[in-house]
Each structure stands twice: as C-alpha cells, then as structure tokens.
Structure 1
Amino acid sequence: MINELPNGWVKTSLGKIAQLNMGQSPDGEFTNTNGDGLPLVGGAADFDNDKIKSSRFTSKPTKVSEEGDLILCIRATIGKVAFSDQSYCLGRGVAGLQSFVEPRWLYYKLQESAKKLDEAGTGSTFRQVDKKTLDEWPVDLPPAEEQKRIVSKIDTLFARSKSVNDNLNSIPKLIEKYKQGILGAAFDGNLTRAWRDLNNLSSAPVLKLQAVVLDFAYGTSSKSSPVGEIPVLRMGNIQDGKLNWDKLVYTSDPKEIKKYALSAGDVLFNRTNSAELVGKTALFDGEQEAIYAGYLIRIKCSEHLLPSYLTYCLNSPAGKAYCQRVKSDGINQSNINAKKLAAFQLPVPSIAEQIEIVRQIELAFEWINHLAYETSSANKLISHLNQAILSKGFTGELVKQNPKEVNAKALLENISRQMKAHVQPIRKKLPSVKQENKSMNRKLIDVLSDANDWISAQEAFKLCGVGKNATTEEIEPVYAELRSLDHQGYIEIETIRDTNGKKLFDQIKLNKKSDHAS
C-alpha cells in the first residue's frame, strides 16, 4: 500500500528531528560588502546550486548558522537547500536547521520536499513558509543505519546522473563545432568537391560581395512601440542564423513601412553588436510582413548570388573571421559599416553549385539539429530521474530494510532526549557568575535557556525570583549576571517601542553563538 510505512520506519515531523532557527534580517546600518563581519544569507540569490555564495556581510548578526547546519530558503524561491560551510548570519528569507538525524539524509529529504514546500508558501507579495509549517512538516523517518544506506545509494546514483548530465552539456559545444566544420568545408570547396568532379566543374572564382549584390541599406532609426501594425526586426531577432519572431516591437507609420519593407530573399546583417556577435546574419523568407531596425543592413542579392548561400557564408568561419578583422570597436559594442561589408570576399560558384552547397548544409544541419533536440530532451529526463530517485529513497523503495536494526521509534525517542538536553552543555561553557548569585531562586541563564526565545526582561527577572517588592540586594545579583552575559556576547537585548517611538519594555534571549562557546 502507498501509505503504509516501510518496516522499522516511523511518522514524525521536521521540528522533532532538527532544531529550527528562523532567520532575521540584520540592521541595514551594519550590512556591508567589504567583508566586515559574518557573511549574510538573505535568500535564494545567495545560493549557487548547492553552495552558499554570499556577497553581503553584517558586523551585527542576528540569527546565526554554524558549520554543518543546513540553510533552507523559506521565502520567494522556497525549497533551495545547502550546507553551511562556516558561520553565516541568517536573513529573513532563510532558516537554519541543526540536524539530529543523518545530515545528508535530511539534506536530500528537503530536496525531495522542495516542490511541496513551495506549494505550502503563503503571502501576496513574497510567498513564504513560517516556523509552524516547518516545525510540523511531515517526515517518514527510517532507522539510523538505513538513513546512511539511503544517502550512499542516492550519492552513487546522483554521481552517475551527473556524469551523464556533464556529457550531455558538452554536446551543444560539439554541435556548434560540427556546424562550423560543415560551413568551413562548404566555403573552402571541400563539401562539393565530388559534386564538381562529377559535373566537370572547376573551383569557384573569389569575388567581392559588392560585385554580386544589388543594394546595401541601413534600417530605420525611428523609435518602435510594443504594439502596432508591422513588426520591426532588430538584432536580437537574429538567433543562430535564423529569424526569431519572439520579443517583437512594432510600427504603424506608413512612411516607415513603405521605405523599410522587407521582401523574401533579403539578407539581414547585424552591423552593430558586442564584439562576439557583430556580423551575425539571417535570411528573411517573407513569412510575414516586417521592416528592419537601424543596427541591421539589408542586402539584396543579384541573380548571381543565392540569398541562402550568402547567409551561410557570412555565418561561416571565414565570414566570422572577416567580421572580427574589420570591425571597429567602441565602448561595449563593435561596428561594421556597409563599405566594409561590401569588401568581403567570397567564392561565387554557379547557381547550380550554390544550390547543391545549401542542400548539403541543410541536410547535415537537419541531422545535427535532431541530435540537439534529443540532447535537450535527455537533459530534462535527468532532472526527472533525480526526483524519482529521491521519491523512492523516502518511501523505502531504494534500499532494503533490515529488521535487525534498531527501529526509528527508538531513534526518535533518543533524539527527543537529545534535543531536550541540548542546552545543558551550553551552561557548562558559559562564564560563571559571582558567588552572591547563590541567593537567587534561579539563574538568569537557566531562565533564558528554558525560554529558548525572546522573553521580556521583567518576566525573566520575575522567574529569577525578583518581584515588584524585591530589595536592592535581591536585584543586584541578577543585574550582575545580566551585565556579565551581555559583555561576553551570550545574550541579545532588544528594546520594544510603540508606533510613536516610546519605549515599552526590553526583551532578552540567548544568542545562537553561545551554543558553541568555549
């Protein structure tokens, strides 16, 4: 049955196997980018896949995670998780988790739960999950030894999928290299050498582009609009040697439309762009009405030059090398004017051979484009495969259960005892208070440890035995301990004010870093 727990497992919640530490944004006055203080993790922007890459710091941290803790995104982009490789200040967009189970098991469990956690987020401006949701988040807990086997199996399978994914990610570069190889062979004569021999033809003459072109014309410099009658093609619409009809702008100006109207067979050359992209070219085949913008040059071919042949030639290694050689570099962009474009030299074989060259290029590209599509599909499958691995790992289907192992119920009881006793070692590490504190009913550090959150100073003193009618001798030991703890950084003190700025009361709590005091 789907809902039946595997042998030895037990149902529990996240708050019963991990200590939650909800983030709190530090005061902006103490936030900086020059490395002063602890690095600040505010949200998903500070994550780089499964690593923390923080760019901000704070000299007055609020909530702090320690090395080995997990940091979980709980706001806006919910569900990202990473291990804390050092101490970090936790902003309001994240929560820290100190795991009392196998840490990497919990890490993978949070990955497996990421989508559902995101769906559980609430809020209109920024969706987020609160402490109650996290604390009560359902967890099916396996025995301790099985957790380790699950982690080992997931690690192994993920390593394999990563290897496959890395290989797949290298294919697009190989595809581009292959395409450039085909284009290189097409315009140095090698692609159709056998065809020429079969037809008793000699090598093609090399001519300047201006000798076989009717016209070079710059596009419109008028401002376009988000809506209108006719699309205005810009440099961004030339992608991989083709026209991309996404992210269009428009014009409704009849004079502009008449002057810059494109005709089927026009070749569009990108004259101004970054140094890497200047010179990219696409063919307009008349699929819909359009005009062209000023960063493009429209080329009209003569009867001796096939537009598709010219497009492939300008996008070939020879065409790109020419563009890099003649471009004029400015600030953040390069330019190639019509005069330089007209001087480009290219082989101009017969129209019959140009047709054959285009046919062979497109035949080769059709096969390689299919491979690119299959690669993209495989990449998506890898992502689904990883999620399937996680799903099986946390339903008991990934590794075998061992009935001889201590079951998770006993483990959970042990964790409960550990979490309750977790504050005890802290007290041994905190500085001792003066001898006169023996007269107090309870020590302040004990009160704050039990509270485990903000508590008003008045209530804290009351729990220490200092009431309204307490004498100076009774109050002074508590203040002495308070000053000692504050001086050594073991507590935080916050003043609560009303909307007019009037002080209402002070509240106190233990600082996170006191957990690791020595």
Structure 2
Amino acid sequence: MTSELPAGWESATLGEIGRYLNGRGFKKSEWSTTGRPIIRIQNLTGSGSHFNYFDGELAEEHTARPGDLLISWAATLGVFVWPGPEAAINQHIFKVDSFIDRDFHRYLVEYSLDHLARNTHGSGMVHITRGRFDRTPVAIPPLAEQRRIVKALDNHFSRLDAAVAGFKVIERRERLLAESLTSRAVTGRLLVMESSPLESGIELRREILIERSNKVPRRRATPVAPAMEFPAEVPDHWAMASIDELAFNIEYGSSAKTGEQEQASDVAVLRMGNLQSGCVDTTKLKYLPASHEDCQKLLLADGDLLFNRTNSAELVGKAAVYRSDLGPMTFASYLIRCQFVQGVIPEWVNLVINSTYGRKYVSSVASQQVGQANVNGKKLAAMPIPLPSTAEQRRILDEISRQQARLTQLRQLTEQTKSRAVALRRSMLSFAFTGKLVPQDPGDEPASKLLARIKSEHQRNSRRSGGIGPQSSSASSTYIKEELPL
C-alpha cells in the first residue's frame, strides 16, 4: 500500500473488510460415498481431483455454494471461486464473507497473499499467523471504483489466463513427447537401421553371461530369468535379459543414521529424494563420517545404477546413474545398487527402468504397505531389459540425448514465458491497488463512508451477540487462534 492514497481511497486491513470462516475437520469415520463432496486444498489447486463425501448435518459456515470465495491457508496458499456443487469445506480453508465487492476482495486477497509470501523469511508461509493476516494493511477505493477495477482486471486477465492455459497444453505435450521418445528408444523404433547390424544383442548377452559367471559369487552364479515378457516388440537382433543377468552385484544401501556435513572429508549419502527425473540431484545431501564402515563397504563406483525400492506408489522404482565426477558418495537403505558387467551401458538400463514399460513392470510387482509401495531386490533382479549391442545402446542414447536437449530448451522457454505471465499479473494487481489501473471519479462515494457503514454493522452485530468487535459474532468459534500459522 502506498503512503499517499488516491482521492476517495481509505486505509483498512484484511480483517476489517470480511469474515474468514474456517472449515471443519472431518474425521475419516465421517467420510462417505454419498452426500456433499468435501473440499480439500488439492481440490482447489487442481493437484487432486478425488473427493471424499459427507452425508450429515452441516453448519452454514462449513457449507460452500457455487460462487463462494474460498482461501486455502495451509501448505498451498490461494484464493478461489468455488464453481459448485454445494459442498462441505474442510479445515485449512476459509470461506469468505465479504463486506466489499466480492470480486475486488478476491483480487485483493490474491495480491496480499503474494505480497506476504515474498516478504516472509523462511519456507513458504509458516511464519504468517492469522493475526498478521487480519492486520495486513490494504487500500480500499470507493465501491464504484472497485467495480471498475474488477472489470478492467477481468478483461486483462481473461487474455492472460488463455495464454497460461496454452502453456499448460504445451507442457502436457512435452511430457507426452518425452514419454514417446523414451518408449521408441527402448523398443528400437527411435533409429532406423539401414542394414543388418554387424553386432547383435543376442551375441552380447552370451558374452555377458560368460563374464558374469566369472564375477558373481557361486551362491548367485545362476541368474534369475526375466519375470515376465517385455510388453512390446523389439528388433529381432536384440536380446531380452533380466537385470540379474546383466549385473554382477545387486545390494541394499546403508541404514546408518546420517547428518549434516561436519568435516570436509565427510561422505555424501544419496537418498531416495536425490533421484529426480532419471538423474542424481545433489541439492539436498546428508553425510556420514569418512571413517564409517559403510563409506568403504558401500562406496559408489562410476556407473552404479541406483533404484528406489520404497516410496509412494507413484515414485517407487525411480532410478538414476551415479558418475564419479559428483565426488565420493554412498547410498541409503531405501536404494538398491546395481553394478553391470562390461558391455552394458548403465544409462541404457536406467532409460528402460524409467520408461513407460519399466514403470508398468514396477507397478505390477510392487507390494503395497501402509502408504508405501515396495519393490525388493529379487523383483528388481527379474525385471526384463531389452538388450541391443553396446554400439547400438550408445547410438540410441546419443540420439535421445540430442532430442531431449531440444525438449529441455522448449521446456525452459515455456517456463520463462510462464514466469513473465506471473510477473505481468503481479504488476497489473500492483497497478490496480495503487490507483493506477483505472481513473478516479470525483463523483464516487468515498471509501471512508463504505468503511463507516461496515464498522457500524459490526457494532450492531456485536451488541446483538453480546460481544465486542467484529470477531465476536456467532461465527467466532470458527476463527483460528492467532498463534496458528496461516
């Protein structure tokens, strides 16, 4: 808010221009398959479409009807207009009772939440309390100007929203293209062989099994066969092998307790969160002292493939290849290490595991536990892997790397354009709430009279309910204690 307000505008706070009624905490025992859908934050943000239902009596302040203004105030912050149907509001969501123009209020809350987020230290909004939210200063224009501002913003944002929707379509196409690229690569359809290859995967598999028998301890000398047929056709000159047939070592990681780095010699420990999009992500690492026995016994070697054996059903089975230029590292117990014999390029196996076909295998063998899925070492060992010759593996990997680089450039361009759209929206809201978007009209009733009427209404309601101030209304029990994070 600027220090000098435009003519007719008035200073206020978010708490003065509306009531914010918190949703109800529904127990699992109250969930049903009929009744009103229960609105959770993911249903507002679009990260989840599944609804639970409540088939019982519901207070008015916990009921959302089409057109109601809702604010998600935990984890993901945002303001939304509920499209319907009539629904039950879960906790961590406010239903807004606006004392000003509702659409103006929606834009004002969006602008205020963004401003609070960008001016708060720490992660997300964990340090923004309900009290601070209510005390957030805002500038209120005359009611007539509020409506002119809404009309102008709606006009500008309709075009901007259409552009953002187009970006989302592009992102979906990028994901589908990336999946198609990988699927064609691991089934031999990415490159067309101009003539019969001089080397075949069949010959390579025979050589691999001989080398493996010389490296693997006697108790594991006989490898397990693929657990199932590969669910797609591959070229005739390719072989099909299990991971166990291609690897001379498959083992679990360290269960030792890790911590922050204390000595320069401490060894980084890769955990399941360090496997992202088929690559090793080193942004958040934990460490073990270099003297720890696991740092010697389980030290990663160049080309080791890491497989995430326990995670959510969506993430279990992700994999990545460690390369020595990342520095000395070991790995945690929720990961499995695979070390391959000569002739098998680790990135090739990684490509297969992370492909649609690899994901299908993982889903078919994963055992479900409470909130977790697990794929043990035996099931990993039996995963079928299409096997071209080493030279063809390298050719395909080079080609997919080249095409993925193009997709990355397109993705970066899309992200840059989306960031510009966000910045433009932020700029337009800033113009709107500093009186620069639409002209002022001296004939408008000043905002001071609107706020005076709101205050007078608060006082009347307070006298009826026997309380003091606007928060002592009949809905006072729905307010969150100020100490709770917004």
The normalised TM-score by structure 1 is: 0.62
The change in CA–CA distance for 1:277 and 1:71 in structure 2 (over 3 A counts) is closer
What's the counterpart of residue 288 of structure 2? Answer: 251
Q: Structure 1, residues 149-195: CA drift from partner, whole Å, max 9, x if none?
A: 4322211222222222233234444333222211211121111224x
Count of residue pairs brought into register by the alignment: 411
Amino acid at match of 1:98: F
Counterparts of 1:139 and 1:168, CA distance in 2:
34
Q: Distance in 1 between matches of 2:133 and 2:98?
A: 14
For structure 1, which runs of at least 5 residues remain unmatched after alignment?
36-43, 424-448, 456-490, 495-506
Structure 1 residue 207 and structure 2 residue 240: aligned?
A: yes
Where do residues 93-108 of structure 1 align in structure 2 (5 Å cutoff)?
97-99=98-100, 102-108=101-107
Instruction: Give the equivalent residue in structure 2 for 1:10.
Output: 8
Counterpart for residue 348 of structure 1: 387
What is the rounded CA distance, in whole Å, between the counterparts of 2:471 and 2:191 in structure 1? 79
Q: Secondary structure at the match of 2:465?
A: strand
Question: What one-letter code is carried by the residue in structure 1 that aligns with 2:195?
Answer: D
Q: Is the 8 A contact 2:68 2:95 kept in 1?
A: no
Whole-angstrom distance in 1 between the partners of 2:135 and 2:368: 58
In structure 1, distance between residues paired with 2:425 and 2:136: 26
Partner of 1:234: 271
Q: Does structure 1 residue 192 correspond to structure 2 residue 191?
A: yes
- The 3-state SS of whatever aligns with 1:300 is strand
2:332 aligned to which of 285, 290, 293: 293
Evaluate the alpha carbon distance shift between residue 12 and residue 79 of structure 1 in structure 2; reply closer, same or farther with a 3 A threshold.
farther
Of 387, 393, 401, the match for 2:426: 387
Match of 1:220 among 236, 251, 254: 254
Deviations 1:53-100 (A, max 9, x none): 9x99999999xx999997889x99999666799999x99x9985412x
Aligned to 1:492: 465
1:362-387 CA deviation, whole Å, 9 max, x = no partner?
11111112222222222222221112
CA displacement 1:250-303 (0-9 Å, x = unmatched): 222532111111111111122333333332211011111111222322111111
User: Residue 361 of structure 1 aligns with which residue?
Assistant: 400
Provide the secondary structure at the position in 1 that maps to 2:189. coil
Distance, in Å, in 2 between the alignment partners of 1:120 and 1:333 is: 34
Correspondence for 2:222: none
Q: Greater relative contact order (Cα 8 A, min sep 6): structure 1 or 2?
A: 2
Distance 1:120 1:71, change over 3 A: farther
Instruction: Say if 1:67 and 1:97 are closer, same or farther in 2 by CA, change over 3 A.
Output: farther
Cα distance in 2 between the residues matched to 1:72 and 1:12: 24
Counterpart position of 2:131: 128
1:106-505 to structure 2, matched below 5 A, reads 106-114=105-113, 126=129, 128-129=131-132, 137-141=138-142, 144=144, 146-194=145-193, 196-197=194-195, 203-209=236-242, 210-227=244-261, 229-252=266-289, 253-286=291-324, 287-395=326-434, 397-399=436-438, 401=439, 407-408=443-444, 410-411=445-446, 415=450, 452=460, 491-493=464-466
Cα contact 2:15–2:133 (8 A) shared by 1? no
State, as a whole percentage, how many aligned pairs show the same letter: 25
C-alpha deviation, 1:413, in angstroms: 7.8
Tell me the equivalent position of 2:215: none
Counterpart of 2:383 in structure 1: which amino acid?
F
Tell me the distance in 2 between the aligned counterparts of 1:348 and 1:510. 69
**Higher alpha-carbon deviation: 162-171 or 279-288:** 162-171
- SS of the residue corresponding to residue 217 of structure 1 reads strand
What letter is aligned with 1:256?
A: D
In 1, Cα distance between equivalents of 2:257 and 2:471: 61
Cα contact 1:11–1:138 (8 A) shared by 2: yes
Q: Deviations over 1:475-500 (max 9, x none)?
A: xxxxxxxxxxxxxxxx3347xxxxxx
Alpha-carbon distance in structure 1 between the residues aligned to 2:335 and 2:77: 44
Q: Distance in 1 between matches of 2:417 and 2:147?
A: 30
Q: Aligned-pair distance for 1:321?
A: 2.5
Q: 1:116 to 1:283 in 2, by over 3 A?
A: closer
Which of 1 and 2 has greater Rg? 1
**CA-atom RMSD in angstroms:** 5.2
Structure 1 residues 512 and 242, CA gap change in structure 2 (3 angstroms): same
> Quick check: 242-251 or 201-210, which moved more?
201-210
Aligned AA for 1:218? Y
CA distance in 1, matches of 2:66, 2:16: 14
